[in-house]
Structure 1
Amino acid sequence: MAGATEAVACYTPWNSGTAYNGGGKASYNNVNYTANWWTQGNNPSTSSGGAGSGQPWTVVGDCGTPTPTPTPRPTPTPTPTPTPTPTPTPTPTPTPTPTPTPTPTGLAKHALIGYWHNFTNPSGATYPISQVSDDWDVIVVSFGDNAGGGNVSLTIDPGAGTEAQFIADVAAKRAKGKKVILSLGGQNGSVSVGNTAEATNFTNSLYAIITKYGFDGIDLDLENGVAQGAAIQTYLPIAVKNLKAKVGSSFYLSMAPEWVYVEGGYTSYGSIWGAYIPIINALRSELTVLHPQYYNNGDIYTPYATGAIKAGSADQLVATARMLIEGFNYGGNTFAGLRPDQVGFGVPSGRSSAGSGFTTNADVSNALNCLTRLLNCGTIKPLQAYPDFRGVMTWSINWDRHDGYNFSVPTKNVLKTLP
């Protein structure tokens, strides 16, 4: 037995139902921990690490009565007593905590995500997916159509080639490690998922489309009809969960609501303000990445400044990412932070692709470096570096090509340099 040491008092025992802000303290199995940011339900013994680890807890040290040397007999607990090292020994299997499951393998650690037009607009005619630059890690096909009753359909624009060519092009991109997904919604899009029958139709019709075309999953850009108390807040998550059950664990799910539907709940929780929060909460385990649109919406109020932060600025991108990772209050409730790898930000690819919120390449670079390694920060700075921050979404791949790749090339170059 080791020599006697002076016992350190244990913090209040960790409780899975308690929300801990950054700096909050808790103990578990005679080890003290400090919260790195807002967290709830993450067992500190299996969700801890130092700054930059992406884990919500940091080990402070042993506490209480020293634990005697283990005997060869089986202990009554399922895990060995933590050792007094600065960080716990990593385990080779997923941790049995309520934390959402990891994103599908194969997705770039820092991804460039863009929308591909399945239609002609001023950026030009539709062109085959085979011609999309390999700088894009995720190609979001825009958009699936409302076929009524919760059903979704997809008609390939002739500019993309024949149906057989389109299917082959999707397969070729995926063979290169790219993700190709179908987006639902858009500015004028609407799919009703307001009852059990519509939810079933939504699931089955999308499963048929995913199977036929070889998509990795879907992107939820549905905004029309999404408001506080709307039935879609209940039935859309049910439909998506059932869809993942059909597709399997590789199912890719992204969301791209305008920021008023998410962080807007901090300012005013009602109507469309914060209306996506219940959907996000219900799909945390299924969510691959949330990348709200920070354009065409104006300036934003956050917990980190007394006034509104200018749309398109690096400070806005950092502040809103902080809210999604570190959590924020809304309507008397608290939004629990997502994992950093589940968060990205959405900006326009150029001045022609959106009405407002244009972000310079310098501001995109500064925001990414600030979030992942605390470099080039402005007045807003995260509590710690988040090296697993997922990346950047933009509208759109077609506008970027129209503008001579002025967005994708410099942004991809920055993403390649991140930790």
Structure 2
Amino acid sequence: MKNPIVLWLAVCASVFSVNSFAVNCANLPVWSSTGVYTGGTQVQHLAKAYEANWWTQGQNPASHSGQWQEWDLLGNCDGATSSSSVPASSSSISSSVSSVISSSVASSSSSVVGGNCASPQYAAGTAYSANQLVQNAGSEYRCMIAGWCSSTAAWAYAPGTGMHWDDAWDLVRSCGAVSSSSSLVSSSSSNSSVINSSSSSSMPGGVRAPGDSSPLPRHALVGYWHNFNNGSGVIRLADVDDIWDVIVVAFVDDAGNGNVAFNLDPALNKAQFIADIAAKRAEGKIVVLSYGGEKGTVTLNNATNLTNFVNSTAAIINEYGFDGVDIDLESGAGVLHGAPVIQNMVAAIKQLHSRFPNLYVSMAPEHPYVQGGHVAYSGIWGAYLPMIDQLRNELDLLHVQLYNNGGLATPYAAQSYQAGTVDMMVASALMLIEGFPLAYGSAGNFTGLRADQVALGLPSGPRAAGSGQATTANINRAVDCLTRLTSCDTVIPSRAYPEFRGVMTWSINWDVNDGRIFSIPVGTFLETLP
């Protein structure tokens, strides 16, 4: 549970902490919540100097500085600051905080505790176990979820100060002479709104939409983790940031006659990999195995292939502990209208779903195979649509790849929308949710999916795909348009779809290699949605 007095103390510690470095702020602009800042831009805020790590708008430097966050703290301003950025004196701050604390405690679930805590100091990345005690920022905490407590992402899970600390930790007591009260009522009207503010959300992203039985959070960040080094490097699953909700492991190998195999990269240890999957699942993450990829194939031409495919997939799921499967068959897999792989894949997924009733199923086709059916309905154009239609009851998430294939023709305008634009992203999602005419209406219509079954699919950065990159600002605008009808461009939905699921990217590996330029701005934005 959130403890409001800890939040108040954490804010005070973050804003008014003393830094040993001094920076001349005379020529630095004062940070503005409406300003747009690019990487390397320096500002002053509350008598401190900060530098932007990447594009940012609205992220307060006082609460968004640190490892993998929008800002770096450069140090305290040396006195040559703008008068609008200088806070009250430290003595008045200390007095104010003491006054708030002493006058606010009306009832308490535990007694006042004095003196220092004996528990060890919290350190990000340490392997903590459930119920283990640590101290941080002047208070003692008990670990509730070991995986989150042990995260390397201090900005998210550092007890008392991280953005999501109370998902991992429970406050035990103050390490000073302050009550560890869990019920506070301020006697000071000027501070009551701060002291009593807390969140009662029981799950990330709020309440799910009617009919949504998916294990996903309401708004999800999905990433492909690839089991090979294409220049981005191979990383352990344990090192994948907690901001990712779904980790899609790419890819399964075609072992012939319908059989599939999963061959782990030689740089990784199999036992450790299996343990890492279990740990991620224990943290509430979804880890699935993907078929296909750019060069990947499956053999699904006859009944024998189908039986072998299902049995070998089930064996991999049982051995490694995957939550489900992802279908990412591309040009090399022979997905064409009328090809046996389509109906046999439908049959395979239904058989696997009967063996594993909670099987997670996702798809990541390229957009010619899906929305391309609006232009033509033969060959590859719209070839995934029969598979999507027949698996709509089993399908958890469809994230069409909006890259490496140029612009998108839609029913909403005569011209194609260019890749990376807000209009293309919004239009592509609306087609999947609201349905669209096939071959300009000559081949019938595709019936739309639920909005919670749809997500955008985009490259994580400039090196992750050959084309189709979108700025994180445009991605967030598109999601904002779809969920809240704000930030739209020319394509404006007829109504908001607040249950729209989120964003997928290729890839987690490239995102890490590029300094998390995708996951932090997009993942953080998704967490702000209702």
Report the CA distance between 1:383 and its aligned residue.
1.6
Report the CA distance between 1:232 and its aligned residue.
1.2
Query: Cα gap change, 1:147/1:101 in structure 2, threshold over 3 Å: closer, same or farther?
Result: farther
Q: Which residue of 2 aligns with 1:410?
A: 521
**Residue 353 of structure 1 pairs with residue 460 of structure 2:** no
Alignment partner for residue 388 of structure 2, among 280, 283, 289?
280
CA distance in 2, matches of 1:169, 1:348: 25
Q: Which residue of 1 aligns with 2:297?
A: 190
The amino acid that maps onto 2:293 is: G
Residue deviations 1:278-303 (CA, integer Å, cap 9, x gap): 10011011000000000000011100
Report the CA distance between 1:186 and its aligned residue.
0.3
The amino acid that maps onto 1:157 is: D
**Residue 387 of structure 1 pairs with residue 512 of structure 2:** no
Query: Cα gap change, 1:103/1:191 in structure 2, threshold over 3 Å: closer, same or farther?
Result: farther
Query: Which structure 2 residues correspond to residues 256-267 of structure 1 after superposition, within 5 A?
Result: 256-267=364-375
The amino acid that maps onto 1:352 is: R
The amino acid that maps onto 2:214 is: P
**Residue 104 of structure 1 pairs with residue 214 of structure 2:** yes
Residue deviations 1:364-383 (CA, integer Å, cap 9, x gap): 01001000010100000112
CA distance in 2, matches of 1:103, 1:257: 23
CA distance in 1, matches of 2:487, 2:224: 28
Residue deviations 1:50-106 (CA, integer Å, cap 9, x gap): xxxxxxxxxxxxxxxxxxxxxxxxxxxxxxxxxxxxxxxxxxxxxxxxxx974433x
SS in 2 for 1:152: strand
Query: Cα gap change, 1:189/1:101 in structure 2, threshold over 3 Å: closer, same or farther?
Result: farther
Query: Which structure 2 residues correspond to residues 354-373 of structure 1 after superposition, within 5 A?
Result: 354-373=465-484
User: Mean alpha-carbon deviation: is it higher for 190-199 or for 174-183?
Assistant: 190-199
Alignment partner for residue 226 of structure 1, among 335, 346, 354?
335
**Residue 320 of structure 1 pairs with residue 431 of structure 2:** no
**Residue 214 of structure 1 pairs with residue 331 of structure 2:** no
Report the CA distance between 1:159 and its aligned residue.
2.5
Q: Which residue of 1 aligns with 2:240?
A: 132
Query: Which structure 2 residues correspond to residues 87-98 of structure 1 after superposition, within 5 A?
Result: none
Q: Which residue of 2 aligns with 1:9?
A: none
Q: Which has the higher contact order (CA 8 A, sep 6+)?
A: 1
**Do the aligned partners of 1:101 and 1:286 also contact (CA within 8 Å) in 2?**
no
Report the CA distance between 1:407 and its aligned residue.
0.4
**Do the aligned partners of 1:369 and 1:376 also contact (CA within 8 Å) in 2?**
yes
CA distance in 2, matches of 1:227, 1:258: 13
**Do the aligned partners of 1:252 and 1:288 also contact (CA within 8 Å) in 2?**
yes
Report the CA distance between 1:238 and its aligned residue.
0.4
**Residue 202 of structure 1 pairs with residue 309 of structure 2:** yes
Alignment partner for residue 400 of structure 1, among 492, 508, 511?
511
The amino acid that maps onto 2:525 is: V
CA distance in 1, matches of 2:213, 2:378: 31
CA distance in 1, matches of 2:462, 2:379: 30
SS in 2 for 1:221: strand
Residue deviations 1:164-184 (CA, integer Å, cap 9, x gap): 111100000000100000011
> What is the RMSD computed on CA atoms of the aligned residues?
1.1
Report the CA distance between 1:127 and its aligned residue.
1.8
Q: Which residue of 1 aligns with 2:402?
A: 294
User: Mean alpha-carbon deviation: is it higher for 193-202 or for 355-364?
Assistant: 193-202
Report the CA distance between 1:222 and its aligned residue.
1.0
Report the CA distance between 1:192 and its aligned residue.
1.5
CA distance in 1, matches of 2:228, 2:342: 29
Q: Which residue of 2 aligns with 1:14?
A: none
CA distance in 2, matches of 1:394, 1:258: 13
**Do the aligned partners of 1:137 and 1:179 also contact (CA within 8 Å) in 2?**
yes
**Residue 377 of structure 1 pairs with residue 485 of structure 2:** no
Structure with more of its chain in helix, by fraction = 2
CA distance in 2, matches of 1:328, 1:412: 29
Q: Which residue of 2 aligns with 1:86?
A: none
SS in 1 for 2:400: coil
CA distance in 1, matches of 2:338, 2:515: 44
Q: Which residue of 2 aligns with 1:247?
A: 356
**Do the aligned partners of 1:128 and 1:159 also contact (CA within 8 Å) in 2?**
no
Residue deviations 1:18-38 (CA, integer Å, cap 9, x gap): xxxxxxxxxxxxxxxxxxxxx
The amino acid that maps onto 1:200 is: T
The TM-score with structure 1 as length reference comes to 0.74
Alignment partner for residue 171 of structure 1, among 259, 270, 278?
278
Residue deviations 1:242-300 (CA, integer Å, cap 9, x gap): 0111111x110000000000000001111000000010011011000000000000011
Alignment partner for residue 120 of structure 1, among 229, 240, 261?
229
Q: Which residue of 2 aligns with 1:62?
A: none
CA distance in 2, matches of 1:284, 1:301: 23
The amino acid that maps onto 1:180 is: V
The amino acid that maps onto 1:330 is: L
User: Mean alpha-carbon deviation: is it higher for 325-334 or for 351-360?
Assistant: 325-334
- Equivalenced residue count is 316
The TM-score with structure 2 as length reference comes to 0.59
Report the CA distance between 1:405 and its aligned residue.
0.3
Q: Which residue of 1 aligns with 2:249?
A: 141
Structure 1: gaps of 5 or more residues: 1-99
CA distance in 1, matches of 2:422, 2:211: 30
Q: Which residue of 2 aligns with 1:74?
A: none
CA distance in 2, matches of 1:401, 1:204: 34
CA distance in 2, matches of 1:150, 1:103: 31
The amino acid that maps onto 1:199 is: L
**Do the aligned partners of 1:118 and 1:157 also contact (CA within 8 Å) in 2?**
yes
The amino acid that maps onto 2:324 is: G
Percent of residue pairs identical: 54
CA distance in 1, matches of 2:447, 2:324: 25
